[in-house]
């Protein structure tokens, strides 16, 4: 059986946090500004609260089947056929997220950083990193994220602090944006932002028990909510909401405005590393989740051949997109609006099925 080793709570929290928060560097902030104006910084807290409820279902499911991961639980709770379909949906969704993330990063790099480099090279390098990390396994990805999170957080905070000179409190008004109803609706719909917390259920066996998963999940969501909220707040303070809608990557644009005298100007290099490394870890983990689900679903013992094949598929799929617009307004919107279904609703259905069919060791859960 393929083994992933075990790792501690801090590494798990780092993994979840890096995976969830990396999307703040991309187009999501611009889209959210278009939908709810300048209220994104607290709307995301509503999303986090909804995600916590969703995570409760995942936790209850895991508690009912201690020592099992979500693929095994789907099989037990729903039967082999339905379980297979559920796992398949989750796996394909994970692959879809990773493709989108590769596309987002490659397109933004092309727009902002290396406009003359061909797409095949940018995506190729990305895939090479994903391939290497996937071969090394989850334990290595977790350790890498733990090791780099200090540098990522430091870089992130430096950008936020240096950007203070451009903050304008008036940009936060009107405080309720386009209206409370829209805020509430988007807050619920966009809970999928925190949906990657399901990774804890996918790799449940690698964490030290259900109690730890609960702690790690809640901490991960809260920490991610804080980071996303602060970053959305910072660019909301920097740009008026109607300007943010036009910027493809607001956080990056914010870092280019930093100017302290003749020498300390434009700290995008610092931000660039935070951005790229965060995206690498995030995309790898999501892709690796797909590999794991695939191997578990088809009961494949050796993941290496699957990684090679899947990386080829990932590379080919990532090259297929039409343009940056199709990614931002197509894939990303799709993921944000409907992401909650595979990430939170599938485990909920499994939990209900387990309760009805009286499956699972801990019937009092």
Partner 1 sequence: MNLLFAVKNIIIYKEPKNNQRFELLEDEKEDMEISKPAETPEATDSNCNSDEKDSAGSPPKQFKKLIRGLIKTGEPKDRSKVTTDVKSDQNKDDVNHICKELKNNMQKVKQEFHVPTNQDIVIREFKIMQKINAFIVYVDGMVDKNTINDYILRQLMAEQKNNKNTKISVDYITDNLLAINQVIRQTDYEEIIKQILNGLTALFVEGNQECVLIESRGYEKRSVSTPLDESVIKGPQEAFTENLRTNLTLVRKIIKNKDLVTEMMPIGKAENTTCAIMHIKGITNPKIVQEVKRRISSIDIDFIAGDGGLDQLIEDHPFSLFPQILSTERPDKTASFLIDGKVAIICDGSPYASIAPITFFRFFHTSEDTTLRWQFGTFLRLIRMVAAFLATFLPGLFIALTLYHQEMIPTELLFSLSKARENIPIPTILELLVMELFFELMREAGVRLPGAIGQTLGIIGAIILGSAAVAAGIVSPILIMVVSITGLCSFAIPNYSIAFGVRIMRFIFIFFGAIAGFYGIAAGIIIFGGLACSMKSFGVPYFSPVAPKTKANHDIGIMAPPWTLKERPDFLNTNNRKRTSGTVRGWIQQANRGNGK
Residues binding partner 1 (CB under 8 A) = 7-8, 10-11, 109, 113-114, 117, 121-122, 125-126, 128-129, 132-133, 136-137, 139-144, 146-148, 262-263, 265-266, 268-269, 272-273, 276-277, 280-281, 301-302, 304-305
Q: Nearer to partner 1 by C-beta: 10 or 337? A: 10
- For the bound state, the minimum distance from the C-beta of residue 125 to partner 1, rounded and expressed in Å, comes to 5
Least distance to partner 1 from the beta carbon of 181, Å?
A: 42
Closest separation between CB of residue 131 and partner 1, Å? Answer: 10
Nearer of residues 155 and 177 to partner 1, judged by Cβ: 155
Largest CA distance in the chain: 69
Cβ burial 102-112 (10 Å sphere, 16+ → b, else e): bbbbbbbbbeb
Between 186 and 284, CB nearer to partner 1: 284
Give dist(CA 211, CA 217) in Å, integer. 10
Nearer to partner 1, 113 or 348 (CB): 113
In the complex, minimum distance from the CB of residue 263 to partner 1, in angstroms, rounded to a whole number: 5
C-beta closer to partner 1: residue 109 or 343:
109
Q: Which of 286, 276, 266 is nearest to 106 (CA)?
A: 276
Q: How far is the CB of 207 from partner 1 (least distance, A)?
A: 13
d(CA 73, CA 80): 10
By beta-carbon proximity to partner 1, the closer residue of 179 and 305 is 305
CB of 52 to partner 1, least distance (A): 24
The residue count for the chain:
365
């Amino acid at each position: 059986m393929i083994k992933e080793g075990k790792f501690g709570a801090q590494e798990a929290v780092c993994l979840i946090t890096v995976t969830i928060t990396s999307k703040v560097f991309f187009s999501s902030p611009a889209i959210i500004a278009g939908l709810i104006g300048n209220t994104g910084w607290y709307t995301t807290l509503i999303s986090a609260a909804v995600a916590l409820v969703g995570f409760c279902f995942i936790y209850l499911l895991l508690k009912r089947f201690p020592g099992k991961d979500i693929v095994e639980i789907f099989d037990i709770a729903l039967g082999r056929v339905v379980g297979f379909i559920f796992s398949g949906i989750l796996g394909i969704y994970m692959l879809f997220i990773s493709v989108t993330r590769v596309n987002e990063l490659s397109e933004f790099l092309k727009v902002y950083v290396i406009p003359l480099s061909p797409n095949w090279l940018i995506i190729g390098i990305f895939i090479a990193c994903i391939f290497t990390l996937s071969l090394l396994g989850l334990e290595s990805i977790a350790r890498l994220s733990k090791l780099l999170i200090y540098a990522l957080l430091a870089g992130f905070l430096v950008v936020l602090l240096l950007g203070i000179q451009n903050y304008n409190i008036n940009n936060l008004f009107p405080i309720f944006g386009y209206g409370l109803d829209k805020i509430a609706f988007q807050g619920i719909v966009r809970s999928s932002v925190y949906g990657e917390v399901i990774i804890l259920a996918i790799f449940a066996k690698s964490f030290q028990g259900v109690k730890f998963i609960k702690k790690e999940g809640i901490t991960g969501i809260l920490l991610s909510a804080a980071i996303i909220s602060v970053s959305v707040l910072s660019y909301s303070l920097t740009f008026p909401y109607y300007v943010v809608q036009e910027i493809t990557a607001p956080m990056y644009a914010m870092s280019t405005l930093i100017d302290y005298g003749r020498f300390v100007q434009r700290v995008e290099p610092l931000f660039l590393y935070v951005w790229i490394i965060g995206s690498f870890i995030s995309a790898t983990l999501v892709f690796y989740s797909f590999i794991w689900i695939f191997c578990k679903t088809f009961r494949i013992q050796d993941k290496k051949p699957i990684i090679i094949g899947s990386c080829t598929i990932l590379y080919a799929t990532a090259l297929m997109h039409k343009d940056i617009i199709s990614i931002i307004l197509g894939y990303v919107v799709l993921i944000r609006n409907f992401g909650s279904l595979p990430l939170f609703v599938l485990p909920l259905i499994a939990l209900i099925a387990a309760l009805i069919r009286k499956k699972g060791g801990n019937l009092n859960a």
